[in-house]
Amino acid sequence: MSEQSRPPVWQMIREAMEALGSDTTNVAVRNWIIRQYPGTKRNTISCHIIMCTVNHSSRIHYPQNQKPRTANGRYDFLFRPERGQLQVYDQARHGQWTIIQREDGSFTVAEVGHEQEVEQETGLTEEEEAPRGYAFTAEDQLRDYLAARPDTMEEGLQLYVDEYGNTGVEYNTPVGRIDLLAEDADGGLVVVELKVSRSPDAVVGQLLRYMGWVKRHLAEGKRVRGFIVARNISDRVRYAVADIPHVSLKAYELSVAVRDLPSIDASPTNGP
């Protein structure tokens, strides 16, 4: 089947759900699509499953879901009853879900009637604060920004998703929690460690520990690389990674654009 004749991946998932029935699993949907549409990337399927699952907390990391809205559109047709399980979303059965924006600008998912509860699940501690005006104020803000735009770090990069539907955002491992775990255009895995301002020496050992675990437990022989992303990278860190293969340093920059808005028409209008 040619690329032009393939439906979009979200439509493939709809077809899989119709074929498999209302109650199925992430793995079953993925395998059905790969059989019907050979060559479709496993991780791309997994990412789109999350994007279309109304109660999956990580769906807000995808651009289609980065605005306040009620879950009743094209990308709102799956429900996650438990890890690795999928059902066709039914508002009467599962409740009405929505995407809301907190006061700090971040997004989250909530069931209608419970929005106030999740709106209050935010706030920075003194240890998380950073000087304002030149950098992100907390690592979770930098993390969420890059999770929604992984290709800003490298073209073709996308979030990693495991077979249970867990995304690579704060990915839990026995050796610690990875800030971001991504998959590159060739299917290799990329471990990303983030610092909002200056990157300390300790981040190098932390990154290598995570890379070692990913290589042995997730990569299945594929290449594993590491990124350190910070506002400032010290020379000490640069020397520390100078002779380490597959580790890259990346500095982020913030900018603000200001544009004129047209004046509101002050002429009288009909109606109330």
Per-residue pLDDT of 176-198, as tens digits, reads 999 999 999 999 999 999 987 66
Q: How confident is the model at residue 126, as a pLDDT? A: 31
Q: What is the CA radius of gyration of the chain?
A: 21
From residue 236, give the alpha-carbon distance in Å to each of 12, 17, 121. 48, 52, 37
Contact 85, 78 (CB under 8 A): no
Q: How confident is the model at residue 266, as a pLDDT? A: 55
Q: How confident is the model at residue 122, as a pLDDT? A: 45
- Spatial distance between the Cα atoms of 76 and 99, rounded to a whole number of angstroms: 11
First CA to last CA distance, the chain = 56
The reply to whether the predicted model has a pTM over 0.85 is: no
Chain Cα centroid distance, residue 29: 20
Q: How confident is the model at residue 125, as a pLDDT? A: 34
Q: How confident is the model at residue 138, as a pLDDT? A: 62
DSSP string, the chain: --GGGSPPHHHHHHHHHHHH-SEEEHHHHHHHHHHHSTT--HHHHHHHHHHTBTT-GGGGGSGGG-S-EES-STT--EE-SSTTEEEE--HHHH--EEEEE-TTS-EEEEETT-HHHHHTS----GGG---TTSS-SSHHHHHHHHHH-GGGTSTT-EE-B-TTS-BSEEEEETTEEEEEEEE-TTS-EEEEEEEEEEEPTHHHHHHHHHHHHHHHHT-TT--EEEEEEEEEE-HHHHHHHTT-TTEEEEE----------PPPP-S--S--
What dotted CATH number matches 126-251? 3.40.1350.10
Q: How confident is the model at residue 174, as a pLDDT? A: 95
Contact 219, 191 (CB under 8 A): no
- Tell which residue, 149, 151, 142, has the closest CA to residue 170: 142
What residue segments make up the domains of the chain, in order of their start?
3-119, 126-251
DSSP string, 214-268: HHHHT-TT--EEEEEEEEEE-HHHHHHHTT-TTEEEEE----------PPPP-S-
- Tell which residue, 197, 259, 192, 191, has the closest CA to residue 222: 191
**Tens-binned pLDDT, residue by residue, of the chain (272 aa):** 555 578 999 999 999 999 998 899 999 999 999 999 999 999 999 999 999 999 999 999 998 898 999 999 999 999 999 989 999 999 999 999 999 998 878 889 999 887 666 655 544 333 333 333 344 456 778 888 899 899 999 999 999 998 888 899 999 999 999 999 999 999 999 999 998 766 677 899 999 999 999 999 999 999 999 999 998 888 999 999 999 999 999 998 877 678 888 887 655 555 54
Q: How confident is the model at residue 127, as a pLDDT? A: 33
Q: How confident is the model at residue 22, as a pLDDT? A: 84
Q: How confident is the model at residue 1, as a pLDDT? A: 55
